[in-house]
Amino acid sequence: LGLEAEAATVEQAVAAALDDGLFTADLAAQGRALSTSQAAQAVLARLQ
């Protein structure tokens, strides 16, 4: 689709959220999981 720069930006936002310790239940330590909506909001916040 020719959106390499945009894809890289999204990947960087996801990586930043993960680096900050923000994970959904499938990846988080017990009791520290975000909901899918919370994780999406965390990524969106890092895109701005």
Q: Give per-residue pLDDT as tens, 1-48.
A: 999 999 999 999 999 999 999 999 999 988 789 999 999 999 999 999
C-alpha–C-alpha distance, residues 34 and 40, integer Å: 9
Number of domains the chain contains = 1
- Residues in CB range of 38: below 8 A, 6 or more apart: 22
Question: What is the span of the domain harbouring residue 36?
Answer: 4-47
pLDDT at residue 30 in the model = 80
Q: What is the dihedral angle through the alpha carbons of 26, 27, 33, 35, rounded to the nearest 10 degrees? A: -50
pLDDT at residue 38 in the model = 97
pLDDT at residue 31 in the model = 77
DSSP 2-31: --HHHHHHHHHHHHHHHHTT--BTTTSPTT
Q: Which two tokens stand for residue 15?
A: 């990586």
